[in-house]
Amino acid sequence: MIVATGQRLAQSLRGSDSIGRTAGNKFGIILGSCGEREMAMVAERLHAAVHGEVIETRAGSVAASVSIGAVWLPQGATTSQEAMLHAEEALEQAKHVGRNGFSIYAKSGLGESERRRLITLGDEINAAVEEHRLILAYQPIVGAISRKAEHYEGLLRLARKDGTVVAAGEWIPAAEKLGLVRLVDRRALEMAVAQLYAHEHIKLSINVSGTTAGDQSWLQSFINYVRENREVAMRMTVELTETAALQAFEENARFVTRLRDMGCRVAIDDFGAGYTSFRNLHNLRVDMVKIDGVYVQNLSKSPDNQLFVRTLVDLAKNFKLETVAEWVSSEEDAQLLASYGVDYFQGYFFGEPDVSPAWANEETEETAAQ
């Protein structure tokens, strides 16, 4: 449906216009020589192109519609980031209208401080990428039996110029809204690969954000980079969130297959947060599922969560998948999880994310001594 919608939109544009995919189910269009009043006419044409005829899929005929948000340039924005942000705001307004909604961005004092905050964050993220101030913090993933770190998850952090380190949750949402998350995810991949070359005894996992998981061209560039570094691919795990994997299921199933063909392992993160069916879990062909920490934290005090987690573990075992329990917070919870057959633990009880882990420092000291 996304491909068919993109084709219909592209066919409705002039030669001077440009169209591209900005997220899983979002397209960005730049209209050349288009006045503010003409934007509504273009929106009507685009609505008609998509909604006018059903889309044939293997599952049958499906009717589609699009919501359209617009910003008039240069009056509506002074930078590319501001233009993206204002277009997103207009799109959100259009969605509230209902099917085939359309809205033009209008400046509002109510959200001005939030807009300024996002734009400032966008500038900071861009600078951090260019100046290599995005770093990984490594959290151990501990074997349930060995109780030793068997691999690590690389969690993104932004190092500010003043030396403070900012967790991803404080700036990744802004990166997604401003269209910067592809740069961020690519940088995370490059850093992980560099660490795998530098430290031959470690295994690392990295995340692919929900926005980039639905971008076929970005996934292809990710595949190409892994292919260029196949010698370390066997020590790398790529994590996709359950909801992101399901939103672009066929594309992600191909992505998973190609990664595994090159030796990479693939995990479903936040397992239990979405609605993965038995069939989908089988068809994705992943190696591991990470049980959503919401159900794991303080597990011993929640009979309902105990039943749910035990069911998830049994489901994973049925498909011969390894399991990681996230947010493990006590020895009591760890023992309970081990009794269910969970393979690995991850959480502050076993180790916090560390930008300078002991294994990296030890190897650096050994090299200096030689």
Domains along the chain? 2-107 (3.30.70.270), 121-369 (3.20.20.450)
Report yes or no on whether pTM surpasses 0.75.
no
Q: How far apart are CA 62 and CA 145, in angstroms?
A: 50
Determine which helix (DSSP H) or strand (DSSP E) holds 68, and give its type and residue range: strand 68-70
* Nearest-angstrom CA–CA distance, 257 and 269: 17
Strands 134-143, 344-345: pairing kind: antiparallel
- Is pLDDT above 50 for 341? yes
Distance CA(87)–CA(81), nearest Å, equals: 10
pLDDT of the residue at 291: 94
Tokens read off for 242: 């359950």
pLDDT digits (tens, 9 = 90+) for 254-299: 889 999 999 999 999 988 866 556 667 777 889 999 999 999 999 9
Cis peptide bond N-terminal to 74, omega within 30: yes
pLDDT digits (tens, 9 = 90+) for 293-335: 999 999 999 999 999 999 999 989 998 999 999 999 999 999 9
* pLDDT over 80 (residue 212): no
In this predicted model, which residue has the larger pLDDT, 247 or 230?
230
- How would residue 113 be classed by pLDDT, with cut points 50, 70 and 90? confident
Q: What is the DSSP string of 102-151?
A: EEE----GGGHHHHHHHHHHHHHHHHHHHTT-EEEEEEEEEETTT-SEEE
Q: Residue 367 — pLDDT band, cuts 50, 70, 90?
A: very low
**What's the pLDDT band for 366 if we cut at 50, 70, 90?**
very low
On whether the CB atoms of residues 344 and 324 are closer than 8 A, the answer is yes
